[in-house]
Amino acid sequence: MPIQNPNPNKKKKKHSNQDDDEDDTVQGKQRTQFEFCKACRLNHNQGRRHIYFPNHKKALSSFLSRFQSKLKNDVAFYLKKPMPLRPEHAALNRLWCVFCDFDILESDSSFACSGNAIAHLASAEHLKGVKSFLWKYGGGMDRMDSFRISESDFTKWEKKCKLLKSEAAGGGSHGSLIGPLNDIHNESKSEYVNSFDKNKLDCLTSDVKCSNSVVPLQDHTIERSQISHSKICTVGPQILHAGTGVGLGARTPNGLPGFFGNQHYTHSVPKEGPAYSCPNDGKQVYSYEGIAIGDRHSQGTSSEESRLQTQENGGGNVHSGAPPPWFSAAEKIQLDNKLNQGLGDLVSSLGEQMKTSKLNPKRVGAAWAERRKIELELEKRGELVRHDFGADWLPNFGRVWQSGSRKDSRKEFLGENKTWRKVDSQIEKPSQFQPYISKRMRTDNTAE
Amino acid sequence: MNYLLTTLTKKQEVDSMIRDTIDKVLVLCFGRASDSIFLQLDEILYKSVREVSKFATVALVDIDSDDVQVYVKYFDITLIPSTVFFFNAHHMKMDCGSADHTKWVGTFLRKQDFLDVVEAIYRGAMKGKLIVTCPLPPDRIPKFHLLYEDV
């Protein structure tokens, strides 16, 4: 039994550390029921207070950012480009959902990598789980959508999977896939040749994406790459010049052996990007082979894109700082001008106030200040007509004897003001003066 | 009498002053030019205006003007001189140990006191606090009694 304090004024109750449910009296500030906080990984008996402590907030933010990075790297990537799942890789592709507290395995997912995970993340139970987690741990309910997949995204992904499936079904084995691949290859190439100067990259990428049967792009790439390679000299470093930052499949500067060792391609793909920087001629063929074989296990899209881009971009590249191929010189000038005219003006004129970006966003009236600055800027430019706030505007003021919020006090004041004005107007009404007539005068009149 | 700083007489002027002072403390002093204490306050403000100019703006408001009576009522100004602080159109309160946190009543004993007060307000506002505590020791704060309670 707990010891009841004889002095009820004492705020803290002295209890032995027990998880008694009976002790849940409201007098004391501490609830003695212990709960486990997943973010801080500790048991505490502070109830709802715990989520507002700074340590918890830190722990929670790191916890959520870790999960979010997992989602971004793995799931988001495969949401855009579903790929068939190999059973040997399935065992490695599992995801622990922190909100629902269970492991999502890929064992029977025929769809594509992380099919089960995507399905779970789009489901309603997961949404519930996210909501309750955020409520319980005080994560901020507006972040919900970053932890789940919306229905529209999910349906898009499903469609892509179905396409992939049908392609795979239609193709049959790997070998026969080369057949339709031929077409893609030729199609895209011809399209590309026709639109050498113009920005058709979107077409290309969408074309390639739609087919989705780009996984086993082997022989043709080697052949064609070697042909193209002989024509164009400075192709090498441009391998990296893939439009997408996705990278060129698992590629290490060491080439093949490094890749084959790396079975878990969910991690390998996104991290590639800028790592590749081999010199021009010596390793050319080697690198292309790397691409070709690497594509077996990762997307061929990126390599094809890059290859096509390399053909297009004879001069400079990302490394030399040249503009991307979809910018012709004229367009670039136009774009620069537009940039200058648009927000550039706003920014440059606020040059003296560039400190604004560094001012504490939590300062008093920050939002109002930002809005007002923009208003003033527009007024200067003459774009925004200055609208007078009128005689009734009152600043945000906390009155002396206020009990509610400042808005309430303002309303209160306005209400009081109105009654005063009414009183004033009423007083003014009987202003008609009549000359004084004495009683004698009146009686004289009536008598007469 | 030339010492007086920019004196505002109309509500519209006060409004524009409040609305146009961005990211700076706005010090609005309500008073009457005939009042000696107000003049003393004005002297101190005049000396300090330039020094706080980077983070504060100072303006005087004439209580006797009709247009401004709305504000006199809104801010519950009964004792003069009264000084109200604003930051980004938000009213800043200061706890000086008196019952009224919404304004500063009276003058400042020294120029440094005024600078301390404005600095405290600015620091609190930059941190996002709507009420700050007075940095001055109680003997330097002019005392007054609130005339009306529970009106």
Per-residue pLDDT at A291 = 41
Query: Cβ distance B104 to B75 under 8 Å?
Result: no
Question: For chain B, what are the domain ranges?
Answer: 6-133
Higher confidence at residue A435 or residue A66? A66
Higher confidence at residue A152 or residue B144? A152
Q: In the predicted model, is pLDDT for residue B81 greater than 70?
A: yes
Length of chain A: 448
Q: How far apart are CA A306 and CA A125, in angstroms?
A: 41
Residue B43 identity (one-letter amino acid): E
Angle B60-B62-B67 (CA atoms, 0-180°, nearest 5)?
Answer: 120
Q: Which DSSP state fits B132?
A: E
Size of interface A-B (CB pairs under 8 A): 90
Measured CA distances, A395 to A24, A65, A440, B30 (Å) = 45, 40, 60, 16
- Give the minimum alpha-carbon distance from A65 to chain B in angstroms, rounded to a whole number: 26
Which residues in chain B are contacts of A413 at CB distance < 8 A?
73-74
Is B22 an 8 Å CB contact of chain A? Answer: yes
Looking at residues A172-182, what average pLDDT do you find?
A: 45
Per-residue confidence band for B116, with pLDDT thresholds at 50, 70 and 90: very high
Q: In the predicted model, is pLDDT for residue A200 greater than 70?
A: no
Q: In the predicted model, is pLDDT for residue A155 greater than 70?
A: yes
Per-residue pLDDT at A3 = 52
The CATH H-level superfamily of B6-133 is Glutaredoxin (3.40.30.10)
Per-residue pLDDT at B103 = 87
Q: Which residue has the tokens 């706030």?
A: A389
Token pair recorded at residue A393? 């505007």
Per-residue pLDDT at B114 = 92
Handedness of CA A398, A402, A408, A412 (dihedral sign): negative
Higher confidence at residue A252 or residue B114? B114
DSSP notation for A408-444 = HHHHHHHHHHHHHHHHHHHHHS---------HHHHHH
Token pair recorded at residue B32? 């009457």
Which residues in chain B are contacts of A362 at CB distance < 8 A?
127-128
Looking at residues A133-158, what average pLDDT do you find?
A: 81
pLDDT tens-digit readout, A77-115: 777 766 666 655 655 667 778 788 777 776 655 555 567
Q: Where are the alpha helices (DSSP H) in A172-321?
A: 174-194, 201-211, 219-231, 256-261, 265-268, 284-297, 301-312
Test A369 with B75 for CB contact under 8 angstroms.
no
Per DSSP, the three-state class of B115 is helix
Q: Which of residues 131-150 of B touch A (CB under 8 A)?
A: 146, 149-150
Looking at residues B98-117, what average pLDDT do you find?
A: 88
Q: In the predicted model, is pLDDT for residue A8 greater than 80?
A: no
* Report for A37-41, A165-169, A173-177, A443-447: range of highest mean pLDDT: A37-41
Which one, of B21, B17, B34, B37, lies nearest residue B104 by Cα? B37
- Give the minimum alpha-carbon distance from B38 to chain A in angstroms, rounded to a whole number: 22
Per-residue pLDDT at A266 = 41
Candidates B20, B91, B128; nearest CB to A398: B91
Test A364 with B75 for CB contact under 8 angstroms.
no
Test B18 with A395 for CB contact under 8 angstroms.
yes
Per-residue pLDDT at A373 = 86
Burial degree of A105 (CB within 10 A; 0-12, 13-18, 19+): middle
Q: Where are the alpha helices (DSSP H) in A350-387?
A: 366-381
Looking at residues B3-8, what average pLDDT do you find?
A: 80
pLDDT tens-digit readout, A297-321: 444 444 444 444 444 445 567 777 7
Per-residue confidence band for A13, with pLDDT thresholds at 50, 70 and 90: very low
Which residues in chain A are contacts of B129 at CB distance < 8 A?
364
Per-residue pLDDT at A177 = 43
- Best of B14, B30, B90 to disrupt the A interface by mutation (most A CBs within 10 Å)? B90
Per-residue confidence band for B117, with pLDDT thresholds at 50, 70 and 90: very high
Per-residue pLDDT at B111 = 92
**φ/ψ of residue A434, rounded to 5:** -115, 145
Which residues in chain A are contacts of B125 at CB distance < 8 A?
363-365
Query: Cβ distance A215 to A300 under 8 Å?
Result: yes
Window from A21-35, A147-161, B7-21 with minimum mean pLDDT: A21-35
Q: How far apart are CA A325 and CA A315, in angstroms?
A: 10
Q: Which DSSP state fits B142?
A: P
Q: Which of residues 66-105 of B touch A (CB under 8 A)?
A: 70, 73-76, 84, 86-93, 100-102
* Report for A23-27, A31-35, A125-129, A247-251: range of highest mean pLDDT: A125-129
- Best of B12, B84, B88, B105 to disrupt the A interface by mutation (most A CBs within 10 Å)? B88
* Report for A59-63, A150-154, A209-213: range of highest mean pLDDT: A59-63
Q: Which residue has the tokens 């007489």?
A: B9
**φ/ψ of residue B52, rounded to 5:** -100, 5
Per-residue pLDDT at B26 = 93
Q: In the predicted model, is pLDDT for residue B6 greater than 50?
A: yes
Output the pTM of the full model: 0.40
Partners of A34 in beta bridges? none
Candidates B19, B84, B100; nearest CB to A372: B19
Test A364 with B130 for CB contact under 8 angstroms.
yes
DSSP notation for A50-86 = GGGSHHHHHHHHHHHHHHHHHIIIIIIHHHHS--PPP
Q: How far apart are CA A374 and CA A370, in angstroms?
A: 6
Test A398 with B75 for CB contact under 8 angstroms.
no
Per-residue confidence band for B85, with pLDDT thresholds at 50, 70 and 90: very high
Q: How far apart are CA A419 and CA A401, in angstroms?
A: 19
pLDDT tens-digit readout, B26-70: 999 999 888 888 888 999 999 999 999 999 999 999 888 888 888
Element at A118 (helix H, strand E): helix A115-122
Higher confidence at residue B31 or residue A28? B31
Q: How far apart are CA A303 and CA A298, in angstroms?
A: 10
Token pair recorded at residue A2? 């707990």
Token pair recorded at residue A40? 């801080």
Per-residue confidence band for A292, with pLDDT thresholds at 50, 70 and 90: very low
Q: How far apart are CA B37 and CA B108, in angstroms?
A: 10
% pLDDT > 70, chain A: 39
pLDDT tens-digit readout, A355-410: 545 777 888 888 888 888 888 888 888 776 666 566 667 777 777 666 667 777 77
